[in-house]
Structure formats: structure tokens, C-alpha cells
Structure 1
Amino acid sequence: MTNQQQQQQQQQLPIIIQGFIIQWTTEYDPTPYTLIKLALVCRQWAATLVPNNFISIKSGNFNLIKRLSTKPIIRGYPDSRPCTFYNIQITRGASRSSFIVTSPPTHSPSSAIPSPPPQTTQQLLPRVPSGIEANTMGQLSNGNMLQYVRQSSCIQSFSLINYNLEIERNIGGEISDVIALNKSNLTKLELVNVDLASNGSSQIIKALLLNHHLTELNLSRNFMREKDAIAIGQVIKSSSLIKVNLSFNEFRLSGVRAIIEALSNNKTIREINLEAVCHMDCPVTPKMSSSQNSPVTISTNLFLNINSMAPTTLSSSFSASSVGTSPSLSPMLLGSSFDPFTSRRAPASNSSPTSSSSISMDSGLTEAIYNLKTNTCLTSINLSHNTFSKQVSVALSELAQSCQSITNLQLNNLKLDDDCGLKLGCAIRDTRSLSRLSLNHNHLGRESVTELSFNMCLNVSITELYLSNNMFGDDAGLDLGNMLAANRTLEVLDLSDNNIGSIGTKSIMDGLQINTSLRRLVFNNNKAGDLGGEHMATMLSKNKTLRVLEVCTNNLRSKAGKHLANSLATNNSLTSIRLSYNLMLEHSGIVNEDIKDCIQAISLCVQKNKTLMCLEVDGNHFQTAAVQEIQSCMERNLTTLVRGDKMPVVQPQQGRTWKVGRRRLDISSLGLL
């Protein structure tokens, strides 16, 4: 390699790093506002780096996206070029979509690009209508969207999410024409919460029969009916789809049967979501919200939250279905939020069809489920929040055994009883592929947990097991403890909201003392009490593999808090513990010896433990004296962390947080600053 080639590589390396920075920023906030901020860094970014690396765009203004894709961001430079968008998402509203800059971006001292003449005025982006004004123009119809997709050679993903199609003309025909283009580069299509039932769903489904390049299809929340589901079944039989999301529609039994029957003959689909598509009593009515219900990740920061009386969102790297609350929607459900529990509820028991046609349809669905054993490529299926008969529920319980390719099975909120639990136990004993099983919000009782626990001792494939909101009771703890002592593959276990008391807690913690595989235990909303808290502390002093422990709302008082804090002071494996709303400190203001010991133990724990990254103790009625005691410990711990990690201290931002390397310490509630 010559010296000239080495110099060229050295010059290209910083550009590559800058491109990675732009792509990383795009993943978190792919809005036009972010694009403008990045373009203002310097002329080189505005001319080439941002257009080349800002690959995703999310806006409610399709005209703006089109302008950015066809015209340079900044004009007047020979190397300026338009943006190259691979992923386009059009959603409701377009905040901050119009920006005018009357002067060129600031010239970077290190940039070698010459500045233009001072009298040249650079317009960074043309002014375009935004928000509601843009949405009243019918910007997708009249051939605009079809022309854009036809001319684009790089677009891979196109999404319409929460978008109002009432102002568009013949939008179903427009979308069907886009699908019928059968472009090899367009592999992902999302039409979420746009009411396709009133906007040409039949045209779109017919066009899907002509497309053989789409691999991911999301048609959730569109009020589609049985006839649409039957037509989708025909698409599934001959398509190239790999991931399909049809959740929150109105397919009923006949539609679900058509889709399941098509799956038995399909050789490409690996993931399918059929959540909340079959309710025999009432239709699905979506509830719009401004927030998005999506999984959040475990904080990698040292976090202390004290005195917050409002309920906090329990952060986890898994879906909210694992924390004892209503199961979250699949990650495929982008851009909209719908809580099925606020707008509708399933019947108290499994509904049994009464008419002869319903009985025939029910038997046909059962047979279709059993026939899935011929499918060898399906790996994930979600059938949660549906209303099925007992016959269908039993068939679903045996699905893990009949379809050996499934690795992720979600059967939440199906009113599964002990008969189904016994079938599930036998199924997981024989499966060698299933790795994630979710049975939250069912009617599984003691017989079910006994069978499941026994067969989990023999299972070597399941790594995640979610059993929250069932009917286990305190006696189930013995079976679960024996299972944890024998199992060597389970990594995540959710037992929230199962009315498990101190006796059951002791058995579970005894099993964890021996267990070497479990990484996360969710035990919220049970009845462990102080005695159960002592057993948790004993487990933490012996277990060396558990990383996350959640025991919110378990009646853990000051004695339990003291024992837990003492164990945490010497524990070197736990990274996150959540103790919220346990009333560790009395609300009356009377501070006795137990409360003093609890405060001192927590202070010592914070000072000594160097591996704990997340500590949540809000809702425990900490008094002013307790806060002051922890304040001093947090200040000393801050200095210890800096010395131990050998990282410089970053000054507090806006008087609220201290940052130490990658660790963040939230001390806003302590009044330090």
C-alpha cells in the first residue's frame, strides 16, 4: 500500500465515523427536525453526509419527504445531493416540519470545502404546509405516492401509521397500485390504524396476491372483517411473507380458521400475530392515545428514585407482559397504542358456540390448529386476547407439542383453566424448540403449576416463562421452588400477581439459592411480607447469577428492607432491584429502631455496592431525616465511583443529574442541588 493510499484511508476514516453517528441518531429520532439539526453542523454534513446516512424518515407531511428525496438539502454546492431514504413512515401530524434558514451553515474549521460568496443566500428547506394543513391536501392520492415509489430505487420500507385517510381519494387503489408494482427493493409494508375496512381493504389484499417480494406485512388495527381474513388466507398460501401482523381486527372464528388453515400449507412465514382478532360478543374498538405502548429497556445507570408517590413505569428489557400488568403489544405494533382492557373485556368464562354453524366452525378451527404440525418454518405465534371455546383452548395448549418448530408461544388472556394447564405441561415436556412461553392473565391454578413445574424440571429449551396474573396461591411456591432447584436453562421467570405469601416465597427463594441459570425474577404484587423479605435477603447472599429482582408491592416493611440492604452490600451480581411501594418506612412520621436500622442499611448498601445499576425504592414514605442520611451516602458514593471507574466527573446538568461515565445518578428528589 502506497503512502497516498494510506493518507486517503486516514481521511476517509473520520467520515465513516461521522456517518455512523448520523445513522445512530436516525434510529432514535428519524424526524425532519433531527435532519435539520444534523445538517446545521457544517456544510459537509448538509451536502453529503446527512443525505447519505439519514436513511429513515418519519413525518406526517409526505410532500416534505418527497422534496427531501428529490432536491438537495442545501443548494449552491456542486457535491450537494438529495437524501436517500430507505425507510419511510407517514404518521399523524408533522411537528417542526417547516424550517427556513437564510444563511449557510456554520463552516467547520477542519472542513476543506470552500465557502460560497457572502452575497449567496442559502435556503436549507423550502417552506411547506405542516400539521393539519398538510393533511388536508390529499398528499398521497392522485398518483403522488405511486409515482414516488415507482421512481425510488432504494426504498425498502413504507409505513402509514395513525394516518387519516378520509381526506385522500381512492387511497385503496393507490396503495394497491404500489403493491402491484412488485418492486424487489420494497420488502416491508405497514398500514396500521388507518381503517382499511373503509378505504379499499379488498383492493389491497388482491394486490398482495401479485406481489412476491414483500417479506413483512403489518395490517393491524384496521377494522377488517371475516371476508378480509379469508382473502388474506389466500395470500398467505402463495406469498413470500416472513413476518405478518394482523392483530386487533374483527376476523371472528371463520377468519381465524382461514388464516390458520393457510398457515399449515405455508413454507415461508416465521412470525404471525393474531392478537385480539376473535371476540364473539363485541367488536374491537381502538382507543387512541398520544403515547406509544412499547417495551423499554433496563436502565444501565445507577438510579435512585425516592419519595415519588406517583406510580412509576417499571423498566425492563422485556415486554410489559412480564411485570404482572396487562401484556404489552407486540413490537410489530408500531405507532399506535390500544389498551384492550379499557375499552372492552372478554367474558368471564370461555364462550361456547350454540348454533350448529358455530359448532362446525369451532371444530374446523380446532382441526386447523392440530394441522399446524405439518408446518416446519413457523417460529412465533401470538393468539392472546381472544375468546375461544374450551375445545379450541385445549388445542392451543397442545400447540407447542404438535408444532415442533415454534420457539415463541404467547397465549395470554385466553381464560385457560387447569385442564389446559395439564395439556401445556405435557407439551413442554416433549418440546425441544420452544424457548419463550407466555401464559399471563389466565385461570391456571394449583394443578396447572404442579404439572408445569414438574415438566419444567425435564425441559431443556425454555428460557423465558411468564405466568403472571393466574390463580396459583401460596401452596404453589413449593412446586416452583423445586423447579428452580432442578432447572438449568430458565433465565426469566414472571410470577407477579399470584397471591403467593411468605411460605411460598421461602420455597422459591430456597430454590434460587441452588439455581445457577435464572437472570431475572419478577415477583411484583404478591404477599411476601417481612418473613419473605428475609428469605429474599438470604437468597441474595448466596445466589451469584441473578441480575434483576423485582419485588414491588409485597408488604416488605423496615425489617425486610434492612435484611435486603445488608445482603445487597455484599452482593456482586445483582444489577437492578425494584422495591417500590412496600411501605418500608411508616407514614406516621414515628421513627423507631427498625426504621433507623433500615435507613442505615440502605445508606451502607449504596455506599459499598459497586455493581448495582438500578435501585427503585419510591413509594416507601421516606421522611426528611432518611433523605438527609441517604444524601450524604450518595455524595460519598459519587466520589467512590469516580475513583473506582477512573472517569472524570461531568458537572450536573440543569441542577438535576450527575453523570459519571456511562452511569447516571438521579438525585433530583434528594435536594442536593
Structure 2
Amino acid sequence: MSLPHKKPLSLHTIPVETVYRILDNLSQLDILLSMQNVCSRLDAILNVYYRYQKFTELKINTRKENKAKLNHLAKALRNNTTITKLTYSFNNISETEGKHLALALEKNTTLTTLIFITTKFEVNALRQLTFGLQRNKSITTLEFRSNRLFSNETYHLIEVLQNNTVLTKLILETYPLEKNDTQYLAQILENNKTLTSLHLECNNINSEKILYITKILQSNTAALTELLLIRNPIGTQGIQYLTKALQINRTLKTLHLTGSNIDDQRVENLSHIIRKNTTLTTLFLDINIITDIGVKFLTEALSTNQTLTTLNLGHNNIDDHGIQHLAELLSENNTLTTLDISGNCFDIYGIQYLCRALQTNKTLKVIDLSENTIHLLSLKHLNRINGKLTEYLGLTLQISKTLTTLDLQMNQIDCEGVRFLAEPLETNSTLTTLRLGRNSIGNSGIQYLSRVLKKNTTLTTLNLERNCFTHEGIQYLVDGLLKNTTLTIIDLEGNKIDDHGAEQLAEVLQKNTTLIEVNLLANNIGDEGTNHLVAAVQYNRMLRTIHLTSNDIHNVIPVDLDEFFNERLYSKFS
């Protein structure tokens, strides 16, 4: 008896479930290169496959991917409709590859962000790429970071902006711009009406080159609202050029002068325009050499300014006297909402000045006091922010009705310091983010915070990374989390959480209905603890991310957590 003839399977007849099983075992790049545009039926299956639908970002790294695969990438990108962000890193792009990528960019209509990091462009490669970028109608963000270009190639990169009507953000980082390049960039941007953000970092822009950049700010047609001049040797003369331009400019809202060797004299020059400026809302002066004298110039100017809402003075040389000037400003200012004074050198008296000011301030929402080595006595004064009577000081303080974010990372805070913070936090009704990472609060400190979690109803983000607590501290934390109904993000990176601690956390994840992200990076969790966590997240319908990298996990990841979360999101919303 002859066996019935079986019709061979083909892409037109293979069961959908079988295709899904094949796709489940392919990387995103392999799916893009080998499964897309094969036939209409396969395209239809891909369009509803959950991993493909979530495939919006592609990272290309020749250290990880076969170079031969990447040669086919440009062709695949021409008709792709899911990828919006493409990153090339550690690549070597030839003239031919640049031409193929240019053709893809010319036809692609979904890509919005294109990034090149530590990529070498061979002769004429960037010129070819420019042709595609000039014709592309979807890319709004273009980033070049730490790339290698031939000396005359930067011209082609800047040429992308010529007649471009879609690009809104340009980042050029870590390679020098020559005088001619800077001049050409300024000439094009003076008449550009779409670019709103220009990021120039480590480009060796000195006072002579900054003169060309300031011409953009003085243009009546330029649309620039954000200018980042980070780690450039602008110099005193350059600050004067910038100040003069800001007197005319009516569009710039954000100015970053991070790491630009700005001293008190240069702050004085800037303060003249800050006093009168009516558009600037964000000013970054961090990682400079500003002292109390410079702070005084700045606060005097801000006393009449009615628009600045964010001020970053982190990592300067500001001591208690400088903080006093800022406190006097906060007592009267009604526009500043975010203040970063991290990494300075103030102590107890500076904290006292701040706390007195915060009692009357009605607008500040975010304050960063990290990396100031605040000692125990200072923390007792911090209770003034929350307006809670402390046993140590015996003072009744006014409750803050505005502060939502408090950053106290890297301040050598121990369990006693946490105790003075914990009691007012139990009843605080405004703080949503508390960062206590990289301190020394230990298991006892976690016990105090556990009480906060049981009673507080506003805190949504808690950072406790690298705080030297173990599974004993985790037990306290679990007790608090089981009764907490508001926390959505918790960071427990770099503690000493082992398998037992992971098992305790798994109990929380099975029952908790608010947490969406848990960071457990760099702990001592092994295979057993991972099994408990993976089992728990399958019962939790809210959790979106759990980080487990850099633990002691060897033989067991029974389910790829990223894939699991993606699949669950798909099934929930499909």
C-alpha cells in the first residue's frame, strides 16, 4: 500500500505557528535581513508578530555583528516601516556602504533618529551619506559622537542642513571643528528655520569660533531654542560674544555651558544679560570653577529675572557663603523650580540657610544635594524641608507644599541620618522621588524606610543603590512594599542581595500591583533566586522591567525577561 502523497510545505502554506516558532529563535537583525520582503504572506505574518511590532530601534555594532550581514542592511531599511531609531557604533563605513545607506535614507519614511558613534568614515563615505540625508523627509535627529572624519569631510556633514526642512536636532560631539567649519555651520543655520537644538561638545570651540556661533543667535530667522556648548574653551572673550548675542536673541530657552572653564569673572559677564533676558528658562553652569563670588553675581541678576526655571551649579567650588546667596534668592524667587548644587563643598551652615529658605519658597520642586558629604547634623536640619518636628532639634517646621524630588546620593548618610528623614516622610504629601543611592544606610536604615513605605502615599521613585544592606534589609523592605500602594520604580543595584533576598522580593512581585521597574543589577543573585523572580513576574501584570545583569546567574534563565515583557504587552493591547 502506497503512502498518501504529501504536498511539500512552502512559504505560502507553512502554518503561522511554525513561522512564529522560527521567528522566536531569530535575532531582530536576522528577522530584518532575512524575513522581510520575501513574500506578501510572510510580510503579513511579520506585521502582526509582536517582536516585529516592537522593533523600533536597531543598534549596529561590527564588534558583535558579522560584517557581511550589515552589507544587506541598507536594502532592508528601504521599505521598513517599524524602525524609528538607528545607531551605528564601532563601524567602518566605506564609500560603497555610504552610497547604499544614502539610497535607503532617500526612500525610508519612518526613521526619525540616526546616530553614529565611534565610526570611521572612509574617503567620500560621508559625502555619499549626505546625498541621502538631504533627500530624506523623516529624520529629525542626527547625532555624530566620537567619529573619525577626514579633515575636509565635516563640510559635507554640515551641508546636510542646506535646504533641510525636517531636521530639528543636531549633535556633533568629540571631534574638533575647524574655523572654516564653524563659519560654514553658522552661515547655514542663520537662515535655517527648522533646527531648534544644536549640541556641540568637545569641539575645541574657542573665542574666535564662538563668534560665528553667536551670529546664529543674532539672526532674525534662526529657530534655535537649545544650545549646548559643553567642554569647549570658550574663554572670557567668548562669553562676551555670547552675552552680546543673547541681548538680541528672542528664541533661546536652554543654554548649557557645562565644563567650559567658567570662573567668577565670566559669570559676572553672563549675569548682565540674565538680569534682562526674558526667554531663557534653563541654564547649566555645572563642572566649572565658580565660587561664592560668582554665585553672588548670579543671584543678584536672578533677583529680577522672571523666566529662569532650571539652574544647574553642580560640581563647582561653592561653599556655605555661596549657598547663603542662593538661599536669599530662594526666599524671594517665585520662578525657579529646579536647582542642582551637587558636588560642591558646603556643610551644615549651608544646609541651614537652604532649609530656612525652603520654608518660605513656594515654587522649588526639585533639589539635588548629592555628593556634598552632608554629615549627620546636617540631615536633622533637612527635616525643615518636610516641616516635621524632629526629636534631635526640637523644632516645629513648616511643611513643604512644593518639593517633589530630593536627591541625597553620595553623602555618607548612615542609618541615623535616615531616621531623621524617615519620620517626616511618613506623612509628607508632596515628595514623589527620593534618591539615597551610594550612602551607608545598611539594614537598620532600610527598617526606617520600611515604615515610610507603609504610611507614605505619594512616593513613586526610590533609589537605594549601593547601600550595604543584605537579605535582612530586604525583609524590612518587603514588609513595607507589601503594604505600599504608590511606588512604581525602585533601584536596589549593587547591594548584597542573595538568593534568599531574591526569594523575598519575589513574594512582593507576586502580589504588588504598582511597581513597573525593579533594578537588581550587580547583586549576588544566583540561579535559584532568578528562578523565584522569573516565576513571580509571570503573575505580576504591571511590571515592565526587571534588571538582573551582573549577578551570579549561570545556568538558568528559563525565560528571556525582555521577550517575556514584550510578549505580555503585545497580548494585553492587541
TM norm structure 2:
0.71
**Alpha-carbon distance between aligned partners in 2 of 1:604 and 1:88, rounded to the nearest angstrom:** 40
Tell me which of 268, 273, 276 is aligned to 2:251. Answer: 268
Alignment-derived partner of residue 186 in structure 2: 205
**Alpha-carbon distance between aligned partners in 2 of 1:36 and 1:473, rounded to the nearest angstrom:** 59
Q: Residues 557, 258 of structure 1: CA spacing in aligned structure 2 closer, same or farther, 3 A cutoff?
A: same
Any idea what SS the aligned residue of 2:126 has? Answer: coil
Tell me which of 138, 142, 145 is aligned to 1:161. Answer: 145
Any idea what SS the aligned residue of 1:413 has? Answer: coil
Q: Residues 18, 205 of structure 1: CA spacing in aligned structure 2 closer, same or farther, 3 A cutoff?
A: farther
Any idea what SS the aligned residue of 1:25 has? Answer: coil
Alignment-derived partner of residue 229 in structure 2: 246
Alignment-derived partner of residue 8 in structure 2: none
Q: Residues 442, 399 of structure 1: CA spacing in aligned structure 2 closer, same or farther, 3 A cutoff?
A: farther
Equivalent pairs counted in the alignment come to: 490
**Alpha-carbon distance between aligned partners in 1 of 2:458 and 2:330, rounded to the nearest angstrom:** 25
TM-superposed deviation, 1:638:
5.6
**Alpha-carbon distance between aligned partners in 2 of 1:570 and 1:365, rounded to the nearest angstrom:** 50
**Alpha-carbon distance between aligned partners in 1 of 2:125 and 2:534, rounded to the nearest angstrom:** 56
TM-superposed deviation, 1:210:
4.8
Alignment-derived partner of residue 82 in structure 1: 107
Q: Percent identity?
A: 20
**Alpha-carbon distance between aligned partners in 1 of 2:138 and 2:495, rounded to the nearest angstrom:** 54
**Alpha-carbon distance between aligned partners in 2 of 1:602 and 1:164, rounded to the nearest angstrom:** 47
Q: Which letter does structure 2 place at the counterpart of 1:534?
A: Q
Q: Does 1:489 align with 2:402?
A: yes
Greater relative contact order (Cα 8 A, min sep 6): structure 1 or 2? 1
Q: Which runs of 5+ in 2 are unaligned?
A: 1-43, 62-66, 388-398, 544-554, 567-574
Alignment-derived partner of residue 202 in structure 2: 221
Q: Does 1:194 align with 2:148?
A: no
Cα pair 1:146 1:178 within 8 Å, conserved: yes
Any idea what SS the aligned residue of 2:559 has? Answer: strand
TM-superposed deviation, 1:610:
4.4
Q: Residues 66, 488 of structure 1: CA spacing in aligned structure 2 closer, same or farther, 3 A cutoff?
A: farther
**Alpha-carbon distance between aligned partners in 1 of 2:113 and 2:523, rounded to the nearest angstrom:** 46
TM-superposed deviation, 1:385:
0.9
**Alpha-carbon distance between aligned partners in 2 of 1:56 and 1:549, rounded to the nearest angstrom:** 30
Alignment-derived partner of residue 137 in structure 1: 123
Alignment-derived partner of residue 438 in structure 1: 340
TM-superposed deviation, 1:631:
7.1
**Alpha-carbon distance between aligned partners in 2 of 1:269 and 1:613, rounded to the nearest angstrom:** 36
Superposed CA offset, 1:231-270 (max 9, x none): 3223322243111121121112332332234224321011
Q: Does 1:540 align with 2:453?
A: yes
**Alpha-carbon distance between aligned partners in 2 of 1:259 and 1:604, rounded to the nearest angstrom:** 57
Q: Residues 156, 397 of structure 1: CA spacing in aligned structure 2 closer, same or farther, 3 A cutoff?
A: same
Cα pair 2:426 2:456 within 8 Å, conserved: yes
Any idea what SS the aligned residue of 1:224 has? Answer: coil
**Alpha-carbon distance between aligned partners in 2 of 1:422 and 1:270, rounded to the nearest angstrom:** 27
Tell me which of 263, 284, 294 is aligned to 1:392. Answer: 294
TM-superposed deviation, 1:513:
0.7
Show the 5 A alignment for 1:104-115: none
**Alpha-carbon distance between aligned partners in 1 of 2:533 and 2:51, rounded to the nearest angstrom:** 34
Q: Residues 661, 145 of structure 1: CA spacing in aligned structure 2 closer, same or farther, 3 A cutoff?
A: closer
**Alpha-carbon distance between aligned partners in 1 of 2:453 and 2:236, rounded to the nearest angstrom:** 48
Q: Residues 25, 429 of structure 1: CA spacing in aligned structure 2 closer, same or farther, 3 A cutoff?
A: farther
Q: Does 1:416 align with 2:318?
A: yes
Q: Residues 369, 64 of structure 1: CA spacing in aligned structure 2 closer, same or farther, 3 A cutoff?
A: same
Any idea what SS the aligned residue of 1:504 has? Answer: helix
Tell me which of 640, 656, 669 is aligned to 2:557. Answer: 656
Q: Residues 467, 492 of structure 1: CA spacing in aligned structure 2 closer, same or farther, 3 A cutoff?
A: same
**Alpha-carbon distance between aligned partners in 1 of 2:117 and 2:96, rounded to the nearest angstrom:** 14
Q: Residues 515, 663 of structure 1: CA spacing in aligned structure 2 closer, same or farther, 3 A cutoff?
A: farther
**Alpha-carbon distance between aligned partners in 2 of 1:54 and 1:583, rounded to the nearest angstrom:** 39
Alignment-derived partner of residue 232 in structure 1: 213
Superposed CA offset, 1:348-395 (max 9, x none): xxx78xxxxxxxxx2x64043143132111121211111235422333
**Alpha-carbon distance between aligned partners in 1 of 2:55 and 2:311, rounded to the nearest angstrom:** 34
**Alpha-carbon distance between aligned partners in 2 of 1:216 and 1:599, rounded to the nearest angstrom:** 44
- Return 521-530 or 242-251, whichever deviates more: 521-530
Any idea what SS the aligned residue of 2:271 has? Answer: helix
Cα pair 2:57 2:86 within 8 Å, conserved: no
Cα pair 1:265 1:375 within 8 Å, conserved: no
Cα pair 2:383 2:424 within 8 Å, conserved: yes
Superposed CA offset, 1:595-623 (max 9, x none): 99x8986575455544444555676767x
Q: Which letter does structure 2 place at the counterpart of 1:452?
A: L
TM-superposed deviation, 1:413:
0.6
Show the 5 A alignment for 1:58-137: 58-59=87-88, 60=93, 64=97, 66-67=99-100, 69-70=102-103, 82-84=107-109, 87=112, 89=114, 91=116, 135-137=121-123
Alignment-derived partner of residue 520 in structure 1: 433
**Alpha-carbon distance between aligned partners in 1 of 2:261 and 2:440, rounded to the nearest angstrom:** 35
TM-superposed deviation, 1:274:
1.2
Cα pair 1:220 1:245 within 8 Å, conserved: yes
Q: Which runs of 5+ in 1 are unaligned?
A: 1-13, 41-45, 73-80, 95-131, 280-350, 353-361, 586-594, 646-653, 666-673
**Alpha-carbon distance between aligned partners in 1 of 2:307 and 2:284, rounded to the nearest angstrom:** 14
**Alpha-carbon distance between aligned partners in 1 of 2:443 and 2:383, rounded to the nearest angstrom:** 19
Alignment-derived partner of residue 8 in structure 1: none
Q: Which letter does structure 1 place at the counterpart of 2:465?
A: C
Cα pair 2:74 2:101 within 8 Å, conserved: no
**Alpha-carbon distance between aligned partners in 2 of 1:375 and 1:233, rounded to the nearest angstrom:** 16
Cα pair 2:275 2:302 within 8 Å, conserved: no
Any idea what SS the aligned residue of 1:443 has? Answer: coil
Q: Residues 193, 599 of structure 1: CA spacing in aligned structure 2 closer, same or farther, 3 A cutoff?
A: closer
Cα pair 1:171 1:199 within 8 Å, conserved: no
Cα pair 1:256 1:277 within 8 Å, conserved: no
Any idea what SS the aligned residue of 1:245 has? Answer: strand
**Alpha-carbon distance between aligned partners in 2 of 1:19 and 1:555, rounded to the nearest angstrom:** 43
Q: Which letter does structure 1 place at the counterpart of 2:148?
A: N
**Alpha-carbon distance between aligned partners in 2 of 1:604 and 1:55, rounded to the nearest angstrom:** 38
Q: Which letter does structure 1 place at the counterpart of 2:107?
A: P
Q: Does 1:571 align with 2:481?
A: no
TM-superposed deviation, 1:469:
0.4
Cα pair 1:370 1:402 within 8 Å, conserved: no
Cα pair 1:574 1:612 within 8 Å, conserved: yes
Superposed CA offset, 1:273-296 (max 9, x none): 2111126xxxxxxxxxxxxxxxxx
TM-superposed deviation, 1:494:
0.8
Alignment-derived partner of residue 499 in structure 1: 412
Cα pair 2:315 2:341 within 8 Å, conserved: yes
Q: Residues 395, 611 of structure 1: CA spacing in aligned structure 2 closer, same or farther, 3 A cutoff?
A: same
Show the 5 A alignment for 1:266-345: 266-278=249-261
Any idea what SS the aligned residue of 2:346 has? Answer: coil
Q: Residues 610, 390 of structure 1: CA spacing in aligned structure 2 closer, same or farther, 3 A cutoff?
A: closer
Superposed CA offset, 1:123-154 (max 9, x none): xxxxxxxxx6xx3323335xx57765666666
Cα pair 1:385 1:412 within 8 Å, conserved: yes
Superposed CA offset, 1:500-548 (max 9, x none): 3333321211111111222221112334344433321221211122222
Q: Residues 389, 422 of structure 1: CA spacing in aligned structure 2 closer, same or farther, 3 A cutoff?
A: closer
TM-superposed deviation, 1:83:
2.9
Q: Residues 66, 406 of structure 1: CA spacing in aligned structure 2 closer, same or farther, 3 A cutoff?
A: farther
**Alpha-carbon distance between aligned partners in 2 of 1:533 and 1:151, rounded to the nearest angstrom:** 57
Any idea what SS the aligned residue of 2:451 has? Answer: helix
TM-superposed deviation, 1:410:
1.5
Q: Which letter does structure 2 place at the counterpart of 1:271?
A: T
TM-superposed deviation, 1:61:
5.5
Alignment-derived partner of residue 364 in structure 2: 462
